[in-house]
Structure 1
Amino acid sequence: MELNKIKPAEGAKHAKRRVGRGIGSGLGKTAGRGHKGQKSRSGGFHKVGFEGGQMPLYRRLPKRGFISLTKQFDGQVTLGALQKLGLAEVDLVALKKSGLVSGLTKSVKIIKTGELSMAITVRGLSATAGAKAAVEAAGGKFVEAA
């Protein structure tokens, strides 16, 4: 193989469609835009959701609910998942490495779902009251992040 002999794969390159270049091209005269109207004219277009002056759907419907912008940075882990993980010390970095929480997560809460029979040290994570009791009952402890 030589640099001057490299060519793109067969069918990878094709000519740009030339509209408005005569009847023989199949896209002459109106150039595929139809007859008259805002869409047929140059520069004649509108923003997404525009309904010709009618009150657009996104403004006709009531606003409802609330989505927190910080939701993607919060995670939760069950006691059952910690049991399967089998680590003696659990912190945010360990949970990210194991894949139990996403890489974007900044804070994790342990919830009481499943069983925990081994003693673990939880470093810098929060927990529900039931989960905290279950960890301590299994001989584990909670330590503040250094």
Structure 2
Amino acid sequence: MVRLVILTALVASAAAFSSFTPRNLPSHRTTTSSPTSLSMKLFDWKRRTADESDINDVKNFKFALDNIRPAPGSRKKKTRKGRGISAGQGATCGFGMRGQKARAGRPTRPGFEGGQQPLYRRLPKFAGQPPGPGHKKELYNLIKLDELNAVEEGGVVNFESLLESGATTKAKYDIHKVVVGREDFTAKGITVQAHAFTKAAREAIEGAGGKCQLLSKTTGAVLEA
């Protein structure tokens, strides 16, 4: 009787020891004769039932703009917020219950960085650029010097006279600036009226015996003779 009890205890202890023995030992490894087949999970139920045998035929299938499709599972449906708890983003829509970022509308202005010095103030300013809003770059209609070559010596020319003679076309802007053109300036002794002159254009006109008269940008009157 005692021998039977001892034998039963030994068998139970051996079974318990075998249950706690790690299975990754070389003696417990199992080899499979067939390789494992990997399968991709499709999240879109429409793609699960779709026949894609043609696109899987690599040798005979040719991709074109009318048959390109996204990879299975790469395109997920848009999360519907505020449509109940079953949607996953019900009630507060993932924004929490309190705080500035939970309120309606934009929580902070564009460029705000929590109170620290923002990027647009950390970067250096560009020379010649106005620092704040409300400033606009002055845009001129350009008059090239070669458009004045047909003016007779001693004549007075401005944008209106050039438009009447057909030397130029109608302008997009109301103020005009004389600049150097690609062709040579050949007119002699003319008086040019404009709202602005470049330095090179003024030197070319005055070097040919002419005059440059500035016009007011608001009234169009001659400011200097």
TM-score by length of 1: 0.50
> Which residue does 1:98 correspond to in 2?
169
| Larger proportion of strand | 1
> Which residue does 1:130 correspond to in 2?
204
Could you say if the C-alpha distance between residues 20 and 120 of structure 1 is closer, same or farther in structure 2, counting changes exceeding 3 Å?
farther
Structure 1 residues 42-74: Cα deviation after superposition (integer angstroms, max 9, x where no partner) = 367111110122321011112231236575154
- SS of alignment partner, residue 109 of structure 1: strand
- SS of alignment partner, residue 204 of structure 2: helix
- Separation in structure 2 between the aligned mates of residue 112 and residue 133 of structure 1, nearest angstrom: 16
Asked if the contact 1:123–1:143 (Cα under 8 Å) also holds between the matched residues in 2, the reply is: yes
> Which residue does 1:77 correspond to in 2?
143
Select 1:40's aligned residue among 94, 102, 110.
Answer: 102
- Separation in structure 2 between the aligned mates of residue 143 and residue 63 of structure 1, nearest angstrom: 35
- Separation in structure 1 between the aligned mates of residue 188 and residue 136 of structure 2, nearest angstrom: 32
> Which residue does 1:108 correspond to in 2?
177
> How many angstroms does 1:131 deviate by?
3.3
- Separation in structure 1 between the aligned mates of residue 104 and residue 118 of structure 2, nearest angstrom: 24
Structure 1 residues 69-108: Cα deviation after superposition (integer angstroms, max 9, x where no partner) = 575154543323445xx56663133568724x54142x52
Could you say if the C-alpha distance between residues 122 and 62 of structure 1 is closer, same or farther in structure 2, counting changes exceeding 3 Å?
same
Letter matched to residue 133 of structure 1: G
Could you say if the C-alpha distance between residues 113 and 70 of structure 1 is closer, same or farther in structure 2, counting changes exceeding 3 Å?
farther
- Kindly indicate whether structure 1 or structure 2 has the higher relative contact order, using CA contacts under 8 Å at least 6 residues apart: 1
Asked if the contact 1:78–1:111 (Cα under 8 Å) also holds between the matched residues in 2, the reply is: yes
Could you say if the C-alpha distance between residues 23 and 70 of structure 1 is closer, same or farther in structure 2, counting changes exceeding 3 Å?
closer
Which one has the largest radius of gyration? 2
Could you say if the C-alpha distance between residues 51 and 95 of structure 1 is closer, same or farther in structure 2, counting changes exceeding 3 Å?
farther
Structure 1: runs of 5 or more not aligned: 1-18
Could you say if the C-alpha distance between residues 59 and 143 of structure 1 is closer, same or farther in structure 2, counting changes exceeding 3 Å?
closer
